[in-house]
Structure 1
Amino acid sequence: MTALIALATVIGLTLTLLTAVARPAAAAADLLSQGKPATSSSTERASTPASAAVDGDGGTRWSSTFSDPQWLTVDLGATATLGQVVLHWEAAYARAFRIQTSDNGITWTTIHSTTTSTGGVQTLDVNGEGRYVRVHGTQRGTPFGYSLWEFQVYGTMNGTPPGSGVPDPTTASLEATDGPLTTATFTVPSPSGYGSGTVTYPTASGSYPGVVLMPGYQGTQQNLQWLAPRLASWGFVVINVGTNTLTDDPTSRGRQITAAGTQLLALGRAPGNPISGKVNGTLGAVGHSMGGGGVMVALRDDPRFRAGVPTAPYLPNANFSGVTDPTFFLTCQSDPVAHGNTYAVPWYNSMSQAEKLYIEVPGDHLCPMTGYGDKAKQGKWIVSFFSHWLRADTRFSPFLCGPPRDADKNNTSLVTRWMDTCPF
C-alpha cells in the first residue's frame, strides 16, 4: 500500500509539472493578433495576402516573392506586453529571421533572433512591448519565398485602445461636417505615379491609417474633397488624388491609387514633413465612378489595401470574386451610367469571402460627389466603416450593424436598398 501511495504521489507530481509546463506564461494569455490589420513586404499572389496569416484559418497562408529579405507585420491596435509568438510555417520557411516590435511602425526593436530555424511550428517565448509586431526573414530555408499559415502573437494589452484621442461617436457627431480632431493640409511636392495630391491629416500626435481618394472620369480632387476633412478629423491621414489625365481608365486609376498609397507610406516614414510618423501602414481607398472601379482594382491587386469604398463604381467586364477585403458599395438609385445592378451588385454577390456593405441612395451618378446627396449620412457610414475595419474600433460598429443602422436602413427616403454581411 505504501508503494502504491508513493507511486500515486509521483504520478500526481508529474502531471502537475506537465500541466505547469504546458500552460503559457501570464503575458501570453491572450491571442492579440487574430483579425488585426496585417501588411507585408510582398506577396507571391493575390490569394496569399498578409491578412491570411492572422485570420485564424489554418488553411490560408501568406507567401512572399522569392527573394531576401521579406517581412510580415501585424498592427495590434495599441501597445501590448508580449509573452509568446507562434509561427506556423508552410514548407517555404525562414532559416534566419527576427521577431521585432515597434511603437510607430518605423523604428524596430528585436526581441528574438535565430539563424538556425528548421521551420514547422515554432513557439517562441519573448519579452517585449509594442503596437506593431513583425517577423523579418533574412535568409530563406528553400528556393521559394517565405510562407506562414499563421502568425500568432500572445500577450496583454497595456496601451491606449484603437482610436485613442477620439471620443465615443454619436449620430450627431458622425453626421457633423467635421469630427473631433483638428486637421491640417499640405500639398504633395512631387507626386509619383499619379497627377497631384493633397494630404489632410490630424495634427494630434499619433499614428493613423491612410486613405486614398480617387475621382472619376473627368473628375478632379474637388469631387471627393468633402470627405477628406471628415475622415482626417476622425483619425485618418487622407491623400486626395488628381489623376495623370482626366480620361484615365479604371485600371489606370487603380494603379494610381496604389502609387499614392506607396507615397503616403513613404512620407510617413520620412523625417522632415508634416506626417512623419503619422501613417501606421494600414491603407484604405474611396473612389467615384471610374475611381470606384480603381478601388476594386487596388483591393484585388494590392494587399496593403485592407478596406475600400467604391462609390457608383464603373468597370466593364471585371471579375472581383477573389477580393476578400471589407468593401462598402455606395450606389445611386437613378444612376444612368453605373447603376448598381450593372456593376456593384454582381461584384457584391461574387465576393463570397469578403465582409460587405451595400447602400443605394436617391440620386443620379453624381450622388457621392461634393455638393450632391446627403453628406451627413454618407460621411457617417464611411467614417464608421473605416474606423471599424482599418482601426479595429468597435465603437463605430453599431452604425453599420446595430440600432443606429436600423434607423437609416428603414428610412425609405434616405435608403432605397441596403445589404450587408452583419454582424461584422
Structure 2
Amino acid sequence: MTALIALATTIGLALTLLTATAAPAAAADLLSQGKPVTSSSTENTATPASAAVDGNTGTRWSSTFSDPQWLTVDLGATATISQVVLRWEAAYARSFRIQTSDNGTAWTTVHSTTTSTGGEQTLDVNGSGRYVRLYGTQRGTAYGYSLWEFQVYGSGEGTPPGNGIPDPTTASLEAAYGPLTTATYTVPSPSGYGSGTVTYPTASGSYPGIVLMPGYQGTQQNLQWLAPRLASWGFVVINVGTNTLTDDPESRGRQITAAGTQLLALGDAPGNPLSGKLNGTLGATGHSMGGGGVMAALRDDSRFRAGVPTAPYHPNGNFSGVTEPTFFLTCQSDSVAHGNTYAMPWYNSMSQAEKLYIEVPGDHLCPMTGYGDKAKQGKWMVSFFSLWLRADTRFSPFLCGPARDADKNDTSLVTHWKDTCQF
C-alpha cells in the first residue's frame, strides 16, 4: 500500500510538472475582417459580400434565392485555419461546406454538414490556405443565404503578396509608374455614365477596382495622371467621363456607382481583357464635384470600401454616416472648395471612419493632371488604396509612422495634416 501511494504521488508530481512546463497554445487571430471578399451573388446593393467581413453585426451579406451559393474571403496570404464563426441571419444554410484553397480554384473541404440550424456557429477546423469559402448547397428557408459575419481565425498570416507587388519604398511610390505593366481598354457601351477608359495590370490575378470621377466641366483628362499610377500598383482603374459637363455632385455619385457596377460586370464576363481581373472590392476618387460624388457614393453604396475626394465640393452634403476609410486631399489657396468649407467639416462629422486629411499648396486645380506635386500625391493615394482595398499593411508606414513624418513635417509640402492613426 505504501509503495502504491508513493507511486501515485510520483506520477501526480510528474503530471503537475508537465502541466506547469507545457507551452500555452497560441491564440488564434481574426484573419478575415476587412479583407477582399467575393460572392456568387447578392440580393441587392444593400447586402454586399463585403458586409460579412466588416466587423459590424448590423450589416449583412445575402444572396439571391437559389442553390448553390458561395462567399469567399481572400486572406492575402496562406494561413493556418483553426476556426470559422458563422453568424447567420434568419436566412441560413441547412447544408454547406467550409473550404480552403491556395489559388482560389482547387478547394479542400475542412467542414461539411447537412443538418445546420443557423444561429451563431463556431466551427473548429483544421486546414490552410489563402482563400476560405462558405459553399452553401441547400437553403434552410425560401430566401437566400444571409450572414451578419463570416469570421476566419487562425495563424501564420503573412504580408499580402499583392499579386507580385514588391515591398514599396519612398522612391518607388514617388515614381510616375509602379512595378506592374499596364494596358488600357475603352468601355464599348458605358451604362449610366458618359464614357470610360480602363487601365489595368496585364499580369495574371484579380485586383480591386477604382473609379475616377472628374469635376465640373471636367473630362477624363482631369485625373488622367492617376489612372496608370494606380493600375501599375495593382488596381483596375476606370477613368470616366460624365453624362454632361455640368452634372451635380449627387449625379456624379450615381455615375460612380454605375461605373463600378459595369466594371465588376466586365470582370465577370468572358471575352474582354478585364475578364477575371476584378476581385469584387471597389474604391473611388474624384475632383471637385467629382469629390462630392465620391462622398455620395461612400454614403449610398456599401460596395465602395474606401474613397479619396480631392478638393471636394458638395454644398448640401451631409456625410456624417460615412464609415469607410476616407482620404481628403485639399488645396491651401482653393477659392472654390476650400477644405475649411467642405472637407474638414465632413472629416470632423465622420465619427466611425478611419480618416486622413492633407492640405497642400496650390489652388482648386492642385489635384488635377499637370498641377501639384504628383510624386507625393501619388504616393499617398497608392498607399491609402493599397492599405484599405487590398489590406496590404506594407503601405501603412507611408501614412502612419516614421516614413510619413518627413512629409507631414515639411511645411513647404504640407500645410495641414490630420489623421486617425494608427492604421
TM over 0.5: yes
- Cα deviation, residue 44, structure 1: 7.2
Task: Supply the distance in 2 between the matched residues of 1:154 and 1:50 (Cα, whole angstroms).
Answer: 18
- 3-state SS of the aligned residue for 1:378? helix
Task: Supply the distance in 2 between the matched residues of 1:414 and 1:163 (Cα, whole angstroms).
Answer: 30
Q: Show the 5 A alignment for 1:82-101.
A: 82-99=81-98
Aligned residues of 2:36 and 2:279 also touching (Cα < 8 A): no
Hey, what does 1:392 align to over in structure 2?
391
Hey, what does 2:374 align to over in structure 1?
375
CA displacement 1:221-245 (0-9 Å, x = unmatched) = 1100000111111111111111122
CA displacement 1:383-420 (0-9 Å, x = unmatched) = 01011111111111111001121111111111111110
- Cα deviation, residue 299, structure 1: 1.2
Aligned residues of 1:337 and 1:365 also touching (Cα < 8 A): yes
Task: Supply the distance in 2 between the matched residues of 1:401 and 1:250 (Cα, whole angstroms).
Answer: 31
- Cα deviation, residue 113, structure 1: 5.2
- Cα deviation, residue 379, structure 1: 0.4
Task: Supply the distance in 2 between the matched residues of 1:358 and 1:217 (Cα, whole angstroms).
Answer: 22
Hey, what does 1:20 align to over in structure 2?
none
- 3-state SS of the aligned residue for 1:397? helix
Aligned residues of 1:53 and 1:60 also touching (Cα < 8 A): no
Task: Supply the distance in 2 between the matched residues of 1:63 and 1:271 (Cα, whole angstroms).
Answer: 26
- Cα deviation, residue 68, structure 1: 4.7
Task: Supply the distance in 2 between the matched residues of 1:229 and 1:90 (Cα, whole angstroms).
Answer: 41
CA displacement 1:131-190 (0-9 Å, x = unmatched) = 443435566545776543431123455888332422221212111111122211121122
The alignment status of 1:238 with 2:237, answered yes or no, reads yes
Aligned residues of 2:101 and 2:108 also touching (Cα < 8 A): no
* Structure 1 alignment gaps of length 5 or more: 17-22
Identify if the C-alpha distance between structure 1 residues 271 and 149 changes in structure 2 by more than 3 Å, giving closer, same or farther: closer
Of 135-144 and 159-168, deviating more is: 135-144
Hey, what does 2:297 align to over in structure 1?
298
Task: Supply the distance in 2 between the matched residues of 1:324 and 1:33 (Cα, whole angstroms).
Answer: 18
The alignment status of 1:334 with 2:333, answered yes or no, reads yes
Task: Supply the distance in 1 between the matched residues of 2:227 and 2:420 (Cα, whole angstroms).
Answer: 27
Could you tell me the TM-score, scaled by structure 2's length? 0.85
Identify if the C-alpha distance between structure 1 residues 49 and 183 changes in structure 2 by more than 3 Å, giving closer, same or farther: closer
Aligned residues of 1:197 and 1:242 also touching (Cα < 8 A): yes
Aligned residues of 1:366 and 1:372 also touching (Cα < 8 A): yes
Aligned residues of 2:43 and 2:64 also touching (Cα < 8 A): no
- 3-state SS of the aligned residue for 2:366? coil
Aligned residues of 2:45 and 2:303 also touching (Cα < 8 A): no
The alignment status of 1:64 with 2:59, answered yes or no, reads no
Task: Supply the distance in 2 between the matched residues of 1:305 and 1:101 (Cα, whole angstroms).
Answer: 26
Task: Supply the distance in 1 between the matched residues of 2:282 and 2:186 (Cα, whole angstroms).
Answer: 19
Identify if the C-alpha distance between structure 1 residues 347 and 312 changes in structure 2 by more than 3 Å, giving closer, same or farther: same
Aligned residues of 2:252 and 2:289 also touching (Cα < 8 A): yes
Hey, what does 1:19 align to over in structure 2?
none
Hey, what does 2:253 align to over in structure 1?
254
Aligned residues of 2:45 and 2:301 also touching (Cα < 8 A): no
- 3-state SS of the aligned residue for 1:252? helix
Hey, what does 1:199 align to over in structure 2?
198
Task: Supply the distance in 1 between the matched residues of 2:159 and 2:422 (Cα, whole angstroms).
Answer: 25
Aligned residues of 2:50 and 2:61 also touching (Cα < 8 A): no
- Cα deviation, residue 292, structure 1: 0.8
- Cα deviation, residue 218, structure 1: 1.1
Hey, what does 1:352 align to over in structure 2?
351
Partner amino acid for 1:62? R
- Cα deviation, residue 37, structure 1: 3.2
Aligned length: 412
Aligned residues of 2:42 and 2:64 also touching (Cα < 8 A): no
Q: Show the 5 A alignment for 1:89-238.
A: 89-99=88-98, 109=107, 111=109, 114-126=113-125, 130-135=129-134, 141=140, 146-155=145-154, 161-238=160-237
Task: Supply the distance in 2 between the matched residues of 1:104 and 1:212 (Cα, whole angstroms).
Answer: 27
- 3-state SS of the aligned residue for 2:209? strand
Task: Supply the distance in 2 between the matched residues of 1:275 and 1:31 (Cα, whole angstroms).
Answer: 32
Partner amino acid for 1:64? S
Identify if the C-alpha distance between structure 1 residues 228 and 63 changes in structure 2 by more than 3 Å, giving closer, same or farther: closer
Task: Supply the distance in 2 between the matched residues of 1:102 and 1:216 (Cα, whole angstroms).
Answer: 43
CA displacement 1:41-66 (0-9 Å, x = unmatched) = 447786x7655543446x54425388
Of 217-226 and 256-265, deviating more is: 256-265
Task: Supply the distance in 1 between the matched residues of 2:336 and 2:239 (Cα, whole angstroms).
Answer: 23
Hey, what does 2:21 align to over in structure 1?
none
Partner amino acid for 1:422? C
- 3-state SS of the aligned residue for 1:133? strand
Aligned residues of 2:28 and 2:155 also touching (Cα < 8 A): yes
